[in-house]
Amino acid sequence: MQLRPLGRSGLSVAPLMLGTNVFGWNVDEPTAFAILDAFVDAGFNAIDTANTYSRWVPGHSGGESETVIGKWLKKSGKRDKVVLATKVGEDMGEGRSLRKDYIARECEASLKRLQTDRIDLYQTHFDDEVTPPEETMAAYAQLIVQGKIRAAGVSNVSPKRLRASLEASQRLGIPRYEALQPLYNLSDRKEFETGYEALCREQQIGVIPYYGLAAGFLTGKYRLPEHADKNPARAGRLKKYLDARGSRILQAVDQVAARHSAKPAQVSLAWLIGRVTAPIVSATNVQQLLELAQAPSVKLSDEDLALLDKASG
């Protein structure tokens, strides 16, 4: 499987990245291990998690997903086969923070849970909007020098703060953000395409979007409000897609899927794969994962792309 460079970091990833926020939450450890093994065995290599997964669950304190992955890394011996990404900055009990001391402390905690000596891609999860970009980027630079991380990335920051961070790194002569993890999919296009895409192309920043299937909407399983109600955990996010535009998008996806004897999710991901470094996908069982893993083999024609772009533009 052809690997794709992640910015100028020296890291290369296959065209799908595995999201693991469900690990230690609604996916138990044995199932998580099976999903991770199947993902790597299918030729993929990039795994994404965060220190806060899954702090939102009653009784959880964060770090549950990292802990599961760490146990798998130790048991499987596959550490050198994966590009391991995690995040820092979201609230772990004392509010969001990108202070230098906070990043250093949380990195140590993540390394311990992951049972590894290095994080390949360490990402700003959420901006605290107060810490100077110079301080945050210096924190990542120090961790790179120490060998604790290989590259830095960023997720939920404004275009203005992203550019300020890149400028701070250039001004200080230190490593910059090499990857952006934005909200981007066939339904959610405007924010990335108008606010970030040009900058990412200009600066050669890798793009690894989350919600590649729009919280499940682009699987085609949710077409009416009552369908969304059957999944209370996602109902609020799903219902925003259930309008006339959403119907047009699903009709176009269905039409393209029929041409390729593919699933709607595979078509939706194939469209995204053609535009970014690697979308993030998550699965709650191996069968679901293996179905999503077929997305890179769906080769969309110019006619397919025109139809999808017209419906979703």
Mean pLDDT of the chain: 95
**pTM of the complete model:** 0.96
98 assigned to some structural domain: yes
- Give me the torsion for CA of 272, 277, 279, 280, rounded to 10°: 180
CB atoms near residue 299 (< 10 Å): 9
The reported pLDDT for the residue numbered 230 is 66
If pLDDT is split at 50, 70 and 90, which confidence band does 313 have? Answer: confident
Give the structural domain span for 97: 4-181
16 assigned to some structural domain: yes
150 assigned to some structural domain: yes
Rounded to 5°, the CA angle 312-177-132 comes to 110
152 assigned to some structural domain: yes
The catalytic residue positions are 53
| pLDDT single digits (tens) 198-257 | 999 999 999 999 999 999 999 998 776 766 666 676 667 787 899 999 999 999 999 999
Indicate whether 43 pLDDT > 70.
yes
274 assigned to some structural domain: no
Indicate whether 263 pLDDT > 90.
yes
Element (H, E) at 199: helix 197-203
Rounded to 5°, the CA angle 26-29-31 comes to 75
258 assigned to some structural domain: no
Q: What's the structural domain count of the chain? A: 1
The reported pLDDT for the residue numbered 209 is 98
139 assigned to some structural domain: yes
